[in-house]
Structure 1
Amino acid sequence: MMTDKVRIDTLGANSLNQNNETYLARQAEFESNVRSYPRKLPFAIAKALGVWITDVENNQYLDCLAGAGTLALGHNHPDILQSIQNVITSGLPLHTLDLTTPLKDKFSDYLLSILPGQGKEYCLQFTGPSGADAVEAALKLAKKYTGRTSVISFSGGYHGMTHGALAVTGNLSPKEAVNGMMPEVQFMPYPHLYRCPLGIGGDAGVKALTYYFENLINDVESGVRKPAAVILEAVQGEGGVNPAPVEWLQRIRKVTQEHGILLIIDEVQAGFGRTGKLFAFEHAGIEPDIIVMSKAVGGGLPLAVLGIKKQFDAWEPGHHTGTFRGNQLAMATGLTTLQHLKDNNIPEKVAAQGEWLKGKLAEMQKRYPVLGNVRGLGLMLGIEIVKPNEAPDHMGSYPADGALSALLQKKCFENGLILERGGRHGAVLRLLPSLLITNAELEIFLDKFENALLCAGIKPL
């Protein structure tokens, strides 16, 4: 009876003020200035199903954010809800530290089975519940195993907001007020096919960056000590949806192996079918030493896991812990998600949809030159907004337009479409919808997006 009363009272409180503005004002009273999404997406969510969200004023939105890629199967998928119910009625504890259960055993076995080589060379480490927690563990392990202290990361990379993870993140804004970052982090340029960091562009730019990395590791006068690890995303997410060129990524794998440097691939956002393969690094046919997994691996609930090549598992008992590493509900929803993705060939569907959608956006780009570049893999796509009336650089790329990107995000929201922004100057509109989104729903996205362009005062050619 107590449970029913709490539920009824909560619903009653919510029904008192069915108004977005009221909830946002109360949130501003309750929460720190650090809150971010409500400033860009000013609504209070009442319910959600699949790719659709309904706010407290009964407005509907097509959700192309999906919890920043966490909700691989969308909102409230019936199999996910059933897996939660199964745990609740099973008698399992919800919280087990790192003690095992039959559910954890089954989840671990299945997760290992989808890692390279069916996971025969890997073991798992359950960390704290966020991707940043897993990044911290990966960095510590690399230093412990190698006995070295430095780390190489890449411009545009995003690995989290905790102390070590922030140190290897490219974005300078959150670093400005934090002194004493983790030392010995060397940043290198990440390939960008639209805005080559070397100013060369095309295949020549990729080859130059590939040579640059190899030379830096081999050059005894580089000034950079041999690192414990190289950490990167095979497709940069927050950095503007930049896929790593296959040749470049393969050479990084080769060089790190030759020099005993651990390669950490951050698959927190790009993993589990998002790019059209189970893992984004599979596009290059490589095997990382450490795979960082979170977001979709928990099926919408908090969970983070490392896949570690067994020869690098240098931990001693208790040398890295995390209270919530035994989240049984997340293992249930995670297992359900992984099985659904694999059993229904969702990565193949996503790969095909991504190519179809990029083609449709390329057609739209011809009518709206402000869409300067469309890129990405699968259902991890980015649209860079530019100033086509200004002079392009020597590579033919127009100046980024972060202000227009922000306006377009606002107009999309007003048209019932939720998108995120990222990249330099926030100029890239990013798509991260549920992997179960249908072609009909993607057509709705295209209609809403074009309507947002028109509402922003952008006239087609």
Structure 2
Amino acid sequence: MICMRRPKIVVEPPGPKARELIERDRRLLSPSLTRTAPLVGVEAEGCWVRDIDGNEYLDFGSGIAVTNVGHRHPRVVETVKREVERLIFVNSCDFYTVPQVELAEKLAEITPGDFDKRVFFTNSGTEAVECALKVTRYHTGGYYFIGFIGGFHGRTMGSLQFTTTSLSARRRFQPMMPGVIHAPYAYCYRCPLGHEGYPDCGLACLAYLEDWILKKVAPPEEVAGILFEPVQGAGGYIVPPAEWVRGLRRIANEHGIPLIDDEVQAGMGRTGRWWAVEHFGVVPDVVTISKAIAAGFPFGACVTRADIMDWAPGAHENTLGGNPVLARVALTVIDIIEREGLLENASKMGEYLKKRMEELAGEFELIGDVRGLGLMVGVEFVKDRRT
């Protein structure tokens, strides 16, 4: 068991054991994996990680917003041990399980919207997004989708068309899924349309979507969905104005377009609410969920209004989605968040973190912007604040 007050370095990283393992990794694993640090983790608990050479680190990234209840939470470990002794797998294409139904009921309860819902379980966030794209296209019969520049929604061939955080993710994968149009996101610190900032811009990015894309490019009646992140994750932890998010909801309502809320990174309590979209007072038609829902195990879900998930049997299935062990883990994670007051904690600690970062920004010119909701906080470093 790891019990630490501060990080501890016993060998300058990467240590000899790490270097040996990393070399073996380089010979065999895909070079597409970015690998931002030479860390070989072998044990973790709470917010602490120990590497193969005995160094101990504070996990300040939570595994890209995956370990919202901490590494190896005792109740998660207990649930896994109990459930694997009971039932490891059932083919949910053909049969039924109790954990799936109970988790679907819980997700219908905690996701935004007081209406009937349906749930499809997946193994990852990109699969949840693929489900959202398929179900909205099936439901509407529409051809076009609206996505946003700087968004990240996955790397499979459908979701990849919406991922515009970097060219490295998109290069040499053409042609991608057709019909996707990218609009500017409300990145007010660096306005993509060249304005000085909100509210003086008059939300020109929203006007671009409404007055140009939907009037010149994509007939609204042929748009199958608007896919957005309420806080852009990989794009830089960009928090849009509430007016922009509400504007998306208004546009979707006016044209009967499903609004798809990708909560894969921002959801499950990271921002101090169950779902980041709740900060803006907006109820989406579709929610995609993954990352933190099963405390690091591969699991996800697509939750929609019941009338949207109206497809026929066989229209969309998978073999491993909704695994009974992991569905029970997800229920445990939700219960931990509720019982341990982690929503309130994320809000409280997030405000403290932002306050301290803003104080540092007052001292150091290289900090250009501090932004975020709850414990989804971004700090943007710049060469010159004026430019």
Taking structure 1 as the reference length, the TM-score comes to: 0.77
1:264–1:288: 8 Å Cα contact kept in structure 2? Answer: yes
Q: Name 2:328's counterpart in structure 1.
A: 332
* Counterparts in 2 of 1:132 and 1:283: CA distance versus 1, 3 Å: same
SS of the equivalent of 1:229 reads strand
1:108–1:124: 8 Å Cα contact kept in structure 2? Answer: yes
Q: Name 1:245's counterpart in structure 2.
A: 241
Q: Distance in 2 between matches of 1:102 and 1:81?
A: 20
Q: Name 2:342's counterpart in structure 1.
A: 346
2:44–2:71: 8 Å Cα contact kept in structure 1? Answer: yes
Q: Given residue 224 of structure 1, which amino acid in structure 2 is its aligned partner?
A: A
Shift of 1:343: 2.6
2:87–2:325: 8 Å Cα contact kept in structure 1? Answer: no
Q: Distance in 2 between matches of 1:206 and 1:165?
A: 30
Q: Distance in 2 between matches of 1:240 and 1:206?
A: 23
Q: Given residue 141 of structure 1, which amino acid in structure 2 is its aligned partner?
A: V
Q: Distance in 1 between matches of 2:137 and 2:101?
A: 29
Q: Distance in 2 between matches of 1:205 and 1:61?
A: 43
1:233–1:266: 8 Å Cα contact kept in structure 2? Answer: yes
Shift of 1:278: 0.5
Q: Distance in 1 between matches of 2:275 and 2:90?
A: 28
Q: Distance in 2 between matches of 1:279 and 1:322?
A: 26
* Counterparts in 2 of 1:298 and 1:95: CA distance versus 1, 3 Å: farther
Shift of 1:206: 5.2
Q: Distance in 2 between matches of 1:96 and 1:80?
A: 23
SS of the equivalent of 1:93 reads coil
Q: Name 2:116's counterpart in structure 1.
A: 121
Deviates more, 1:151-160 or 1:58-67: 58-67
1:268–1:293: 8 Å Cα contact kept in structure 2? Answer: yes
Give the alignment partner of residue 312 of structure 2, picking from 305, 313, 316. 316
Identity of matched residues, %: 35
SS of the equivalent of 1:181 reads coil
Q: Name 1:134's counterpart in structure 2.
A: 128
Deviates more, 1:294-303 or 1:151-160: 294-303
Say if 2:76 is the partner of 1:80. yes
Q: Name 2:5's counterpart in structure 1.
A: none
2:113–2:284: 8 Å Cα contact kept in structure 1? Answer: no
Cα deviation per residue 1:158-201 (whole Å; 9 max; x = unaligned)? Answer: 00000010101113222111121111211110011211112211
Give the alignment partner of residue 58 of structure 1, picking from 54, 57, 62. 54
Q: Distance in 2 between matches of 1:252 and 1:68?
A: 27
Q: Name 2:184's counterpart in structure 1.
A: 189
Q: Given residue 254 of structure 1, which amino acid in structure 2 is its aligned partner?
A: R
1:239-388 counterparts in 2 under 5 A? 239-388=235-384
2:113–2:283: 8 Å Cα contact kept in structure 1? Answer: no
1:210–1:251: 8 Å Cα contact kept in structure 2? Answer: yes
Give the alignment partner of residue 19 of structure 1, picking from 17, 20, 28. 17
Q: Name 2:91's counterpart in structure 1.
A: 96
Deviates more, 1:336-345 or 1:354-363: 336-345
SS of the equivalent of 2:49 reads strand
Whose helix proportion is higher, 1 or 2?
1
SS of the equivalent of 2:297 reads coil
Shift of 1:218: 5.3
SS of the equivalent of 2:201 reads helix
Say if 2:169 is the partner of 1:174. yes
Q: Distance in 1 between matches of 2:239 and 2:337?
A: 22
SS of the equivalent of 1:79 reads helix
CA root-mean-square deviation = 1.7
Q: Given residue 175 of structure 1, which amino acid in structure 2 is its aligned partner?
A: R
Q: Distance in 1 between matches of 2:156 and 2:208?
A: 29
1:226-237 counterparts in 2 under 5 A? 226=220, 227-237=223-233
Q: Given residue 92 of structure 1, which amino acid in structure 2 is its aligned partner?
A: L
1:422-437 counterparts in 2 under 5 A? none
Q: Distance in 1 between matches of 2:72 and 2:24?
A: 26
Cα deviation per residue 1:221-250 (whole Å; 9 max; x = unaligned)? Answer: x12233111100000000000012111111
2:231–2:237: 8 Å Cα contact kept in structure 1? Answer: yes
SS of the equivalent of 2:217 reads coil
Q: Distance in 2 between matches of 1:104 and 1:141?
A: 20
Shift of 1:58: 0.4
Shift of 1:121: 2.0
Q: Distance in 2 between matches of 1:121 and 1:288?
A: 13
1:138–1:292: 8 Å Cα contact kept in structure 2? Answer: yes
Gaps of 5+ in 2: 1-14
Q: Given residue 122 of structure 1, which amino acid in structure 2 is its aligned partner?
A: K
Give the alignment partner of residue 48 of structure 1, picking from 34, 41, 44. 44
Number of aligned residue pairs: 368
1:373–1:385: 8 Å Cα contact kept in structure 2? Answer: yes
Shift of 1:95: 4.2
Q: Distance in 2 between matches of 1:164 and 1:364?
A: 41
Displacement over 6 Å in runs of 4+: none
Q: Name 2:217's counterpart in structure 1.
A: 223
Gaps of 5+ in 1: 1-16, 399-461
Shift of 1:217: 5.8
SS of the equivalent of 1:311 reads coil
Cα deviation per residue 1:355-382 (whole Å; 9 max; x = unaligned)? Answer: 1111101111222221111111111111
Cα deviation per residue 1:79-106 (whole Å; 9 max; x = unaligned)? Answer: 11011011022x2233433432222222
SS of the equivalent of 1:321 reads coil
Q: Name 1:441's counterpart in structure 2.
A: none
Q: Given residue 26 of structure 1, which amino acid in structure 2 is its aligned partner?
A: R
Taking structure 2 as the reference length, the TM-score comes to: 0.91
Shift of 1:210: 2.7
